[in-house]
Amino acid sequence: MDMCTTNKAAEILGVSAEIIQLWIECDILKAWKTPGGHRRITLASIQKVAIKDKALIASKVAFEDADFTLLYVEDDEATADLISQLVENLKLNLKVRRAFNGHDALISFADIKPDLVITDLNMPRINGFDMIRHIRNNKHFSNTNIAVVTGLDKFQIIEQGGLPDDIEIFSKPAPFEVLAQLIKFLVMKKNNLTH
């Protein structure tokens, strides 16, 4: 079986070693640790990402000129369209990437390193619970702002393992006014810290 190191995988896919680590942790890339503690990644899984998911690794330049980046993760296209329209109406220097499941969202971390992730919980491939766990368990992304918009009630969320206390949870249908205020607040907060 052909293998490579984390750094070589990062070079092949054009992403950082931190992104490779995130993708290994959430099983997008297949890897294991050597007895010495070094990761080895299968070339087959790297090729799979390069071929199937390369479309999700969009131009980094498109997101570099934004003051704020938002990753919206929702498998319902109509809801995703409404949120995209809401964000456009805010007239902020803000870029939005849409993903239709947790797998695609984690791939998107490669080029946008979002300031805010707004996500559903029930989705195919990697659900919102698992995606959030992977983000929070990765030291490079554990401070990412996350908000959840879900049809689940608080008891259903607890039954599935719950969510970290700092995550805002909103019930569907998406509360557009509240989300707009959250986005504006986080944009202002980031601008105050960086200026």
Strands 39-42 and 31-33: antiparallel
Per the prediction, the chain carries an average pLDDT of 85
pLDDT for 105 equals 92
pLDDT for 127 equals 94
Average pLDDT (5-23) is 86
Using one digit for the tens of pLDDT, what is the confidence trace for 28-67? 899 988 898 888 999 888 888 876 555 555 444 455 566 7
Average pLDDT (101-117) is 88
pLDDT for 11 equals 86
Q: How far apart are CA 183 and CA 91, in angstroms?
A: 12
Going along the chain from its start, the domains and CATH numbers come out as 3-52 (1.10.1660.10), 61-194 (3.40.50.2300)
Model confidence, pTM: 0.76
Q: How far apart are CA 70 and CA 18, in angstroms?
A: 19
Cβ atoms < 10 Å from Cβ of 65: 8
Query: Diameter of the chain by CA atoms?
Result: 53
Using one digit for the tens of pLDDT, what is the confidence trace for 160-181? 999 999 999 999 888 888 999 9
152 vs 78, which has greater pLDDT? 152
| Joined tokens for residue 6 | 């984390």
pLDDT for 12 equals 84
